[in-house]
Amino acid sequence: MSFRPLSFLAAARSLGEAKAAILGVPLERTVSFRGGPAQAPAAIRLASDSVESFSAIFRADLSQIGVCDLGDLDVHLPLAEVLAALEGEVAKLVAAGKFVVVLGGEHTITLGAVRGAVAALGKLQLLALDAHSDLREEYEGERICHATVLRRCREEVERLVIVGARSFYGGEVEEPVFAGLDDFTGKLDPELPLWLSLDLDVLDPSLCPGVTNPEPGGLSYREVIEIFRALRGFNVVGLDLVELAPPYDPSGVSAITAAKLVIEALCALRSPR
């Protein structure tokens, strides 16, 4: 009998051979409602084994793209050190020309990933798919947490666009960073490298209930796929997928949805056109 380490579906290439690298960051430090994102990277990897590597939508196969699974970052450190370590890993991978997929973990990890991409490229824009604005200056006394992460990221990038937001804490609803499905590409710069942050609560909770902060009225799975399709005209250098809470969906459907979205994103953004 033989055993193989838990890794993402078809992520069988060495880093040198791979076009894309997957890195887990099971961070759960500033959650304020439902817990569980520390379990998410493992749950997504396990769920990926239940689906196929071929995308019928984008007519591409993950096994042909070339993917490496680097395992998980050590998160048993102070938050600032975890983010700095993630920044360093993402910077090295992006500088080496790898497309980076970061599996969270809570949304705070996006800050480390964005900082790493900026360090490697100099300039970056961020497209965030999120039910919440995450633009608070501070939350429960913290300047860096899941509820402030997009404000902190906005301080690092040239441009921030948020799609799918429907939960606000106040006047930020009027800020120009918010966009709809029909106009978000017009707010992006086709000349700038782009990082995609996918908070799973952007989906309607009837489709993906296992998230930390579910919010009714979200996007459909097909609408997220269409966002991937629209991004094929941009230089997307990486993405993070965050806020899965496996304990709140015993059926496992939310983890399977997360895994399938990673596959479709890679096939959309890294397969030949």
Rounded to whole angstroms, the Cα distance separating 261 from 212 reads 18
Scan for tokens 């798919």, then name that residue. 129
Is the pLDDT reported for residue 271 higher than 90?
no
Residue closest to 41 by CA, chosen among 101, 123, 128, 115: 101
Digit-coded pLDDT (tens) for 209-254: 999 999 999 999 999 999 999 999 999 999 999 999 999 999 999 9
Domain ranges in the chain? 20-270
272 pLDDT higher than 90? no
Place of tokens 């050590």: 74
DSSP designation for 244: B
Whole-angstrom distance, CA of residue 130 vs CA of residue 15: 30
Query: Containing H/E element for 179?
Result: strand 178-179
**Cα–chain-centroid distance for residue 89?**
16
Task: Give the count of beta carbons closer than 10 Å to the beta carbon of residue 272.
Answer: 7
Instruction: Give domain 20-270's CATH number out of 3.40.50.2000, 3.30.1130.10, 3.40.800.10, 3.20.20.150.
Output: 3.40.800.10
pLDDT band at 1; cut points 50, 70, 90: very low
Per-residue pLDDT at 137 exceeds 70: yes
Q: Which of 63, 70, 64, 28 is nearest to 45 (CA)?
A: 70
pLDDT in tens, 167-199: 999 989 999 999 999 999 999 999 999 999 999
Burial bucket for residue 100 (CB in 10 Å: 0-12, 13-18, 19+): buried
Say if CB 135 and CB 150 are below 8 A apart: yes
